[in-house]
Amino acid sequence: MDTKIFCDIADLSSIKKFNKFKVVKGFTTNPSLMRKAGAKDYKSYSKKILNICGNKPISLEVFADDENSMIEQGNQINSWGKNVYVKVPVVNSKNKFTGNVIKELNNSNIKLNITAVYTAKQTEKILKVINKKTKVIISIFAGRAGDTGKDPVPEFVKSIKLAKKFKNVEILWASVREPYNYLQAKQLGCHIITIPPSIIEKIQKFGKSFNQLTQETVKAFLVDSKKSNFRI
C-alpha cells in the first residue's frame, strides 16, 4: 500500500513551495503552526492557504474548547472549501471525549481529521460515533508518544485493524521525528503520514547506500577539521 505524504505546515511561502512537489498529496495545519506562521485572522489566513493548495486536502483545526462552539466552528471552517477537512481534537482541554462534536459534524457530511490521538482505545471510541460514508482521518501522534518513552507502533497496528471495516477512514502517522518514520508508516500500512518540510526534503534523498553515507560523513569531518586548522 502506498502511504500518502501530507506536509505539516502553515507558512504560506512553504505551502507554495511544497505544493509543487509531486510527492506532497495534501496539507495539515494546527493553531500552533498558524501562530508560528504569523496568522492574525484565522479565517482570512486559512483562505490564503486554500488559494494556494488548490484541490489538495487541507486540514484546518477548530480552536474552541466547548462542544457547541466546536460544532459552530466546524461548520464554518467546512464552508471555506470542498477540500477542507475539519480538524477536531479527540478530547477537549478538560479531557472530555469530543464524541458529540465528531458525531454531529460527521452526520452533516463534514470531512474530519480527528487529532491528538495516542491509543487504539481512542480510535475505537471515534469509530463508534461515525458513519461509514463521510471521510474521516484519525491522526495518531507517534513522535510525541516516542518522546515519552512509549512505543506507538502497537497502537497503530490495532487502530489500522479496527479501521479496516470502515472504507471512509484513514489512519495518519503524525508528529514525525525522522525520515525513517515514513518507512515505518508504509510498513504498518498507514494511509497517510504528515511530515514537516525539512524531513520531506530528506526523504527525497532516500536510496543512498551505507558506503555512500560513510564516505560523506568522513569527508564532512575532514572538511571541518581543515577549516578549523586543527593541529596535534
Domains of the chain by residue range: 4-227
- Fold entry, domain 4-227: TIM Barrel (3.20.20)
Which pLDDT value is given to residue 19?
96
Within 8 A by CB and 6+ apart from 158, the residues are 120, 123
What average pLDDT does this structure show over 28-37?
97
Average pLDDT over residues 125-137: 98
Q: Has residue 165 got a pLDDT over 90?
A: yes
Q: Which three cell numbers stand for residue 4?
A: 500518502
HEC per residue, the chain: CCCEEEEECCCHHHHHHHHCCCCEEEEECCHHHHHHCCCCCHHHHHHHHHHHHCCCCEEEECCCCCHHHHHHHHHHHHCCCCCEEEEEECECCCCCECHHHHHHHHHCCCCEEEEEECCHHHHHHHHHHCCCCCCEEEEEEHHHHHHCCCCCHHHHHHHHHHHCCCCCEEEEEECCCCCHHHHHHHHHCCCEEEECHHHHHHHCCCCCCHHHHHHHHHHHHHHHHHHCCCCC
Task: Evaluate if residue 188 carries a pLDDT over 80.
Answer: yes
Q: What is the mean pLDDT of the chain?
A: 97
**The predicted structure's pLDDT at residue 97:** 98
Residue 187 confidence (pLDDT):
97
How many other CB atoms sit within 10 Å of the CB of residue 71?
Answer: 23
Is the model's pLDDT at 1 over the cut of 80?
Answer: no
pTM of the model: 0.93
Q: Based on the number of CB atoms within 10 Å of its own CB, is 218 exposed (0-12), middle (13-18) or buried (19 or more)?
A: exposed
* Of residues 119, 132, 124, 122, the one with CA closest to residue 166: 132
Q: pLDDT band at 204, cuts 50/70/90?
A: confident
- 199: pLDDT strictly greater than 80: yes
Residue 65 has a pLDDT of 98
pLDDT of the residue at 205? 80
Mean pLDDT of 30-48: 97
5-20 tens-digit pLDDT: 999 999 999 999 999 9
How confident is the model over 59-98, as pLDDT tens digits?
Answer: 999 999 999 999 999 999 999 999 999 999 999 999 999 9
